[in-house]
A and B are shown apart, each in its own frame.
Chain A
Amino acid sequence: MTPLVSAQNLQVHFDLGGGSLWARMAGRPARGSVVRSVDGVSLEIARGETLGLVGESGCGKTTLGRALLRLVEPTAGRVTFRDVDVTALAPEPLRQQRRHMQMIFQDPYASLDPRMTVAQIVAEPLHTFGLAHGRDRHDRVRELMAVVGLSERFINRYPHEFSGGQQQRIGIARALASAPDFIVADEPISALDVSIQAQIINLIERLQAERGLTYLFISHDLRAIRHTSDRVAVMYLGRIVEMGPARDVCDAPLMPYTRALVSAVPVPDPVVEARRTRIVLQGDVPSPIDPPAGCRFHTRCPYAVAACRVVEPALQEIRPGHFAACIRISPEQPDIEGAKPA
């Protein structure tokens, strides 16, 4: 089956400028002043599937999500959506294509125009894509509000009159308005209170079941990712370092970074917390401007050997459907603990 969305060797670099005037005039990229946000990512998302994308700030997960919708221009590589090369589309066909690819944002208030009423916000995609007019449009807005659990009474209110959870519902209604196939949900729950997070997760999952939606669910919250996703991709400094079925990645991670990430998540159970051993990584995430050579994680990796500083590891299938980028593990030796000491 062909995937709904796929990326091949996708790359998004941001040129920060700088470098010598001579080099710039000669048109050479100024080395060292380029942020390698997304640096060669390939992935596929099947229709109806949720791919969870997890990583720390600056790892490039948001940029990757935006590049799939071409909200940022990839500097290399290809994005295919329903067999159409999105990266090659001219502005007008791209605009038409966006009807089918929408986004839910992290900060619900910042992503809603404060001078527009809920009705106007939710109706905007219908207007932009010419999907409904007049009475019909009004009915569609009311229907969408009901779908996301907002009372019709609020139809003429402004975003600031709503709580954070309700604002996120408005953002979801807007994303649904053009009846998309694919939605990038970028940290949709991290700005919300704990009791509201469960509501929004349930809403996002219900909509998927009812409408056959396909999601890229971006989050730094492994608990939420594990709950919502079929498969999970872990990003570190612009690259996918592990990818596989959600349960396998979250419960039996292979790559040392994922293992540390999983172990760093506090478990809401004091009995478990008292017993578990934590892997506490040393140091900070290096800058994506000048990522370390070889394996990008080697500067913080407790298992790194000399070769890790040189060889850039490729994703390899360690267990069925479960890929990891680490030269110290293999299908024959999947457990890093069993790798020969440095």
Chain B
Amino acid sequence: MTRSTPHSAEFAPRLELVAEPILEIRDLTVEFSTEDGIVHAVTGVSYDLNPGEVLGIVGESGSGKSVSMLTVLGLTPMPPGRIASGEALYKGKNLLTMPKKELRDLRGGDVAMIFQDPMTSLNPFMRVAAQIEEVTRLHLRHSKADARAHAIAMLERVGIPDARRRADDYPHQFSGGMRQRVMIAIALACGPDLLIADEPTTALDVTIQAQILELIRASRAATGSAVILITHDLGIVAGMTDRVVVMYAGTVFETASTKELFARPGNPYTQGLLQSVPNPAAERGAPLYQIPGSPPDVAHLPPGCPFAPRCSRAADVCRQEFPPFVEVAPGHHSLCHFAHDVHDGRSA
């Protein structure tokens, strides 16, 4: 692989000590006006991402895990969407008020994205190498020849066999796993400081998922970029991330280091999710732990805690007052009236 490109230094692990988070999201609230009324997709969401860190955002459909990220990147259509409050500081600059042109320069260059479905994110009419060249010519001002060489190098790096020959294929000539590799090649082409992967393996088979996760792991180890991994799969979170943000009904319910979250969850929702995964130690025929009810309709949230209607330990206070965001251990926060009890394993 050629290392002659101007940004090849970007691939070297960054070892500088930066205490400042690379991304700080503060009190973000996003609403959508629909026929059904105002949908509170994201409510008062705050979290930080440190340089080089892998942060998992977990939640079910409608939890706001994708919308919060898309809004930060200026990809939520407005209207019907509306940012009611908040800021998103990327290296100290607020993405939400940044001029469109500046944000466009950031996206795809410094901040890259991988989406769930590679077939709808790739341009079906463009050869795969051309889709990588487009990005580096724009962001890195590559010459035509440099862009071409770099595109082939990137395809090799993400493990496309016979990359030179396949460079001029169209996306439909690739399998699902290969397409996702192309998406990753595009995302990594400019050596991003921040990679956002939104359910990158949900559309793929298990053995292909393992390949793609391995590739993301290896790329991160090589470049040291920070990663936000949005997923619903607790197994992927356990194997890939340093820290986790659990979202429910548009709100952050819990945040902790991955080890701490799985060992001592401080929120009944997280606890329920972890217990409802089939457990190898359980007896055959023993029922799984189940959270009753359905995920809430974010257009009609109940007063008080949004999880209260499904929560086994809900008390009157939960149905009346929105819960506080409590620090149950250093760096471990939970949105619950009984956060300490849950974290310390005291029953209701």
User: Are A and B physically bound partners?
Assistant: yes
Chain A residues within 8 Å of B, Cβ to Cβ: 56-57, 163, 165-166, 193-199, 201-202, 205-206, 209, 220, 222-224, 226-227, 230, 246-247, 251, 260-261, 263-274, 278, 280-285
Structural contact, A261 and B207, CB atoms closer than 8 A = yes
A131 to B60, CA, bound (A): 40
The DSSP consensus for interface residues of chain A is helix
Our pick among A195, A201, A284 for the contact of B278 (Cβ within 8 Å) is A201
A198 touches B262 (CB 8 A): no
Report A-chain residues with C-beta under 8 Å of the C-beta of B239. 266-267, 270, 273-274
Residues of B214-245 at the interface with A, using a CB-CB cut-off of 8 Å, are 214, 232-239
For the complex, give the distance between the alpha carbons of A266 and B56 in Å.
Answer: 14
Contact, CB under 8 Å: B274 / A268:
yes
Binds A, one of B12-20, B42-50, B285-293: B285-293
Q: Are A226 and B278 in contact (CB under 8 A)?
A: yes
- The 8 A CB mask of B234-269 against A (1 = contact, 0 = none) is 111111000000000000000000110011000000
Which chain B residues border A198 with CB–CB below 8 Å? 276-277, 288-291
Chain B residues closer than 8 Å to A272, beta-carbon distance: 238
B263 CB, min distance to chain A CBs, angstroms: 8
A138 and B235 CA atoms in complex are apart in Å by 44
A52 to chain B, nearest CB (A): 12
Q: B4 on the interface (CB 8 Å rule)?
A: no
Contact partner of A264 (CB less than 8 A), chosen from B177, B206, B290, B291, is B206
* B207 near A264: Cβ-Cβ < 8 Å: yes
Given contacts A205-B285, A226-B280, 4 further A-B contacts (CB under 8 A): A56-B206, A223-B277, A227-B288, A260-B207
For chain B, the bracket of interface size reads 35 or more
- Please state if A163 and B295 are interface contacts (CB–CB under 8 Å): yes
Choose among B207, B214, B274 the residue that contacts A56 (Cβ–Cβ < 8 A): B207
Counting from the closest, the 3 A-B pairs by CB-CB distance are A266-B235, A227-B278, A273-B239
Once the chains are docked, how many angstroms separate the CA of A223 from the CA of B236? 14
Contacts of B213 in A (CB 8 A): 266
A209 (CB) vs chain B CBs: closest residue: B285
User: When the two chains form their complex, are residues B273 and A195 in contact, meaning their CB atoms are under 8 A apart?
Assistant: yes
> Complex formed: what's the CA distance from A195 to B61 in Å?
11
Kindly list chain B residues whose C-beta atoms are within 8 Å of the C-beta of A165: 294
Contacts A199-B290, A278-B210: A266 and B262 contacting too (C-beta < 8 A)? no
**What residue in chain A is nearest B282 (Cβ atoms)?**
A227
Closest Cβ of chain B to A83, distance in Å, is 28
Q: In the bound complex, do residue B210 and residue A206 qualify as a contact, i.e. CB atoms below 8 Å apart? A: no
Given A284-B178, A284-B208, CB of A195 within 8 Å of CB of B276: yes
Report if B34 contacts A (CB, 8 A): no
Question: For residue A208, which residue of chain B has the nearest CB?
Answer: B285
State whether A265 and B295 are in contact (beta carbons under 8 Å apart), knowing that A195-B276, A199-B290, A202-B288 are contacts in the complex: no
| Interface check B120, CB cutoff 8 A | no
Report how far A220 CA is from B202 CA in the complex, Å: 12
Asked if A193 contacts B232 (CB within 8 A), the reply is yes
Checking A57, A227, A246, A280 against B214 with a beta-carbon cut-off of 8 angstroms, the contacting residue is A280
Complex: how many Å from CA A134 to CA B232? 45
State A206–B285 Cα separation when bound (angstroms).
Answer: 9
Contact indicator A266/B207 (Cβ below 8 Å): no
**A264 surroundings in chain B (CB, below 8 A):** 206-207, 209-210
Q: Are A261's CB and B206's CB within 8 A?
A: yes
Q: A165-B294, A223-B277, A261-B207 are in contact. Are A195 and B238 (CB under 8 A)?
A: no
Shortest distance between the CB of A321 and any CB in chain B (Å): 15
For the complex formed, measure the closest distance between the CB of A247 and the CB atoms of chain B, giving whole angstroms.
8
Beyond A227-B278, A227-B282, whether A193 also contacts B207 by CB under 8 A is: no
**Most chain B CB inside 10 Å of its own CB: which residue of A197, A227, A270:** A270
Contact residues in B for A224 (Cβ distance below 8 Å): 278
Q: With A and B bound together, what is the CA distance between A262 and B285 in angstroms?
A: 21
B105 within 8 A of A: no
Residue interface bits B281-313, CB-to-A below 8 A is 1, else 0: 010110111111011000000000000001000
Instruction: From the candidates B214, B263, B295, name the one contacting A195 in the complex (CB within 8 A).
Output: B295
Question: Is B321's beta carbon under 8 Å from chain A?
Answer: no
A56-B205, A227-B282, A270-B238 are known contacts. Are A166 and B210 too (CB-CB below 8 A)? no
Q: Contacts A198-B289, A266-B233 hold; do A281 and B205 have CB atoms under 8 A apart? A: no
Find chain A residues with CB under 8 A from B274 CB.
268
Contact A278 B276 (CB under 8 A): no
